[in-house]
Structure 1
């Protein structure tokens, strides 16, 4: 700088910003002391080699492009990486203006900000990945729940199958214990089937019931009574000796039940009732 610029030399030397002047040949001619503090190189070392030699290899192409543009017009907020004395790199943000064949620039170290922004971007990518994973897991869970619902519906249907064994004759085979929920489902399906088929006879087969308690007995009577209210004669088949003994011990009144030892006997009687009604 000339003597007329001496009042600015002091400012140039003490400014915390990275100040400098670059030549058209690609060298740094003047640098403020802050460059030494930022990069660790002395100013002499920085001026001794083309500035492109300090630029990160991945940033050299865009730096060359920026240099060509900087010789003709103002450049704002151009960023690249400069090599430090210890081999690490710092992100530098440049603003420059061309004057009299040289490029005057003000730069600043934005490494901390860049790293923070990169960390934020990484966190955002991680959150997006987690969100996509959560969406996928929720979708899989909804599919699993739908499949489970279908399976439950299939199990419910199998737990209370209503079979039309002949015209006007329905068969409800009961397997296992009957709780309140299952009894309600059986009741609904049975009554609906009686109405739809106009069944005059319903067979409630207990061959698949190994044991009976008071609750199961109560549900059986409720099914018989409901069928009769709709005009369908209800026959009970397949009562095992053990179940008959239990019913007596529990004091269950079976006088109102028409019972049969086997399903075949109940079916034969049901067909006879149907024939009699058709006459």
Structure 2
């Protein structure tokens, strides 16, 4: 093989390797769920992958390949934060990680998390930067919903505690305690103490625990079982009403013995039963 033939063969091998590398890179770009970008700082020429554009709803030809096109898509309120993150990365070489909103083709906004890494020349001047964009819109929506739910639960808990223990004298010899929301150890102890004091002060025969508005966990059932046992020790019959199908399943799954405490569909049925018992066995 002559020197020219050898050179030609080597060029063909390098060309084939380059094609193979490009195919591999394209497959990786298509497979990833993140958008890939590459920025030549010396020419301001950028590369945005198809996925990068698809996240925002754009076709390949609809976004120009320069930094101006990128910054124009960033929400104006978030632009200073992105610029500051880039400046910090170029100056201190700290990790580039920033979140911001980008405008979609339809005029909406997507939440983006950007990561990147720069390259510097021998003089320490940044010459290139590449990274990825991750669409975190759904994650942000779930986080916002979780925070709203936590806030609502906190408000509900504070409201319930502000109500105290609303023990109602519904008839002579009959008290009713509506249990609303979740019951923790502190609240269970408070309800038990106040109910027992009220029962002892009024010679109550029946204490109706209305569970219609209660939120149940396995611990809640145990608190109620202790409450009814304490009532029985001072001669008062505990009565349950308003047990939901979910609560019934919890009771069955736990195989918890409630000590024969009578249960009724609703408060009306419970009161009628208690009144009947009072007439049959007057105090």
TM band (smaller chain): 0.3 to 0.5
Which structure has the bigger radius of gyration?
1
**TM-score normalised per structure 1:** 0.44
**TM-score normalised per structure 2:** 0.43
